[in-house]
Amino acid sequence: MSLLGKKFKLVDDFNQAKNLAYHLLPSRFASLDDGRYMLSNEVGEYLVVDRPKLEAFVRKQVGADTDFYHDLKSKHFLFDDDSNVAIDLLALKYRTKAQRIAQFTALHLFVVTLRCDYTCQYCQVSRQTDDKHAFDMSEDTANKALDLVFKSPSPAIKIEFQGGEPLLNYSLIQYVVTEAKRRNFEHQKDLQFVITTNLSLLNDDVLAFCQEHSIQLSTSLDGQEELHNSNRPRPGKNGYRLTVDGIKKAQNFLGRDKIGALMTTTEKSLSQVKSIIDTYLESNLDCIFLRPLSPYGFAVKNQQAHKYDIERWFEFYKEGLDYVLEINKQGHRFVELYTQLIVNKLLSPFSTGYVDLQSPSGAAISAIVYNYDGDVYASDEARMLAEMGDKKFRLGNVHADSYQDIWLSDTLLDTLETSLSESLPMCSDCGFLPYCGTDPVYHYATQGDVVGNKALSGFCSKNMKIFKHVIGLLEDDSEARQILLGWVR
């Protein structure tokens, strides 16, 4: 035998499994459209197949010499006597996806005040008027919260200041940043800060402080002037002007990548998605997050959350994404963030860490909230619910409870246990499970039950529609696929 023959197997060696029955590996499927199904495995690899192929796969009737067989084998939907490493590889990939659980809480939200100078109809945190200092976080409370922050095993810690309008308690932000950095000399974490602000109090002092400590800014921009001011009224009716001027100032001072914006959709927004996106382009922002309205805070009290349903919001999202793709086709990179998140989940081996799309829920595992009064909540949504009077997801208080008390509380452990999609009705056998999650606070707020009936769930309906749409684009639109692949991190 030649040297070549010793080093390389013959072609026939690779066809050994031709006449052997294959074994199925764990997988799920979901209907994609009228004729196609999306088949996914335990670690999120997927194939789009028609019904006859799906049935042939499950009934073990796929020929070993077909391309379909090789696709199924290479993506770990089946194994045969010639592929005995499949289980080890799947375990490795599963562990990679679950890595975030071991790293634990990275995002720590400090609600430094509930005061706000805006009177937004949809406000999800039920702000208090700006003269009530009783709704400010104290240094003592902040110190106790920092004690908990630095107990997290996560090697990366992000502290995000929220409100109300957090710059109304700017002195506390300065204190927390300085104190956290001082403590971090010992802990050596990758420490980052974000201020979520409406920018109305932005000045050179604040910007200089942000520059000195590499603090990111996140603001709200709902669309063009009329829409923004209607959604986000403030005395003087100049919210839009203050926001876009603030964005420009921050971009010039800190750099374009140091400020981002989020929009909230109201009924009024639904017919204006293109002009909303244009507003972002005019402000030199490179991405937008087309978000539906959350069912919390004043949005519920004012009936805003019920004014349009998911179907209408999805049309808004689809029109917006089409427009975003059009912008990209013209050579301008501009990203829709939720779509980017979904594409990453579909195509990347890593977890995204996005709280809402995790199983178990990201509540307290990925993010935790320290309210102005020291109360600790499992998520920002849990805090919003508490401001409406329902403290079901309150985990404790920084003044009274230890790290163990809070993270091992029955409230949290029960919530996490009921948030494992793998054991929930309709989720457990859904083909979109590896990319989706469960939002116990949302389902409690909308159905009075942390699990909820997914057939009635706006969360499920929204995400199923988006998954199907994005997978459809990846499969059927080569130009869109190229753009979406460029968004994968």
Partner 1 sequence: MKEHELNFDVRVFSIETIKRALYRFSDKCSFDIHLKDSDVTVKIHTSANDDLLAKIKNEVLDQDLRDTLVKETANVRTLILANAFSNTGLIQ
Contacting residues toward partner 1, per CB under 8 A: 23-29, 31, 42, 54-55, 58-59, 87-88, 90-92, 94-95, 98, 102, 425-426, 429, 453, 455-456
Name which of 374 and 431 has its Cβ closer to partner 1: 431
Shortest distance in whole angstroms from residue 58 CB to partner 1: 5
- Residue among 415, 456, 413 nearest 438 (CA): 415
Torsion of CA 427, 92, 471, 462, to 10 degrees: 30
Contact indicator for 434, 44 with CB cutoff of 8 Å: yes
Task: Give the Cβ contact number of residue 434 at 10 Å.
Answer: 21
Shortest distance in whole angstroms from residue 456 CB to partner 1: 5
Name which of 211 and 447 has its Cβ closer to partner 1: 447
Cα(303)–Cα(145) distance, integer angstroms:
34
Residue 310, classed as helix, strand or coil, is helix
Task: Give the Cβ contact number of residue 216 at 10 Å.
Answer: 18
Cα(233)–Cα(130) distance, integer angstroms:
14
Name which of 26 and 236 has its Cβ closer to partner 1: 26
Cα(76)–Cα(26) distance, integer angstroms:
9
Name which of 68 and 209 has its Cβ closer to partner 1: 68
Shortest distance in whole angstroms from residue 287 CB to partner 1: 34
Cα(223)–Cα(81) distance, integer angstroms:
58
Name which of 40 and 162 has its Cβ closer to partner 1: 40
Shortest distance in whole angstroms from residue 39 CB to partner 1: 10
- Residue among 464, 372, 379, 125 nearest 264 (CA): 125
Name which of 180 and 424 has its Cβ closer to partner 1: 424
Shortest distance in whole angstroms from residue 315 CB to partner 1: 19
**292 token code pair:** 């539906």
SS3 content of the chain, % helix, strand, coil (to 5): 50, 15, 35
Residue 331, classed as helix, strand or coil, is coil
Name 217's bridge partners: 195, 259
Shortest distance in whole angstroms from residue 455 CB to partner 1: 4
Name which of 31 and 178 has its Cβ closer to partner 1: 31
Shortest distance in whole angstroms from residue 153 CB to partner 1: 13
Name which of 20 and 281 has its Cβ closer to partner 1: 20
Shortest distance in whole angstroms from residue 24 CB to partner 1: 5
- Residue among 195, 198, 185 nearest 158 (CA): 195
Name which of 86 and 262 has its Cβ closer to partner 1: 86
- Tell me the DSSP string of 184-215: HHHH--EEEEEEE--STT--HHHHHHHHHTTE
Residue 377, classed as helix, strand or coil, is strand
Phi-psi region of 29 (alpha: psi -120 to 50; beta: other; left: phi over 0): beta
Shortest distance in whole angstroms from residue 82 CB to partner 1: 17
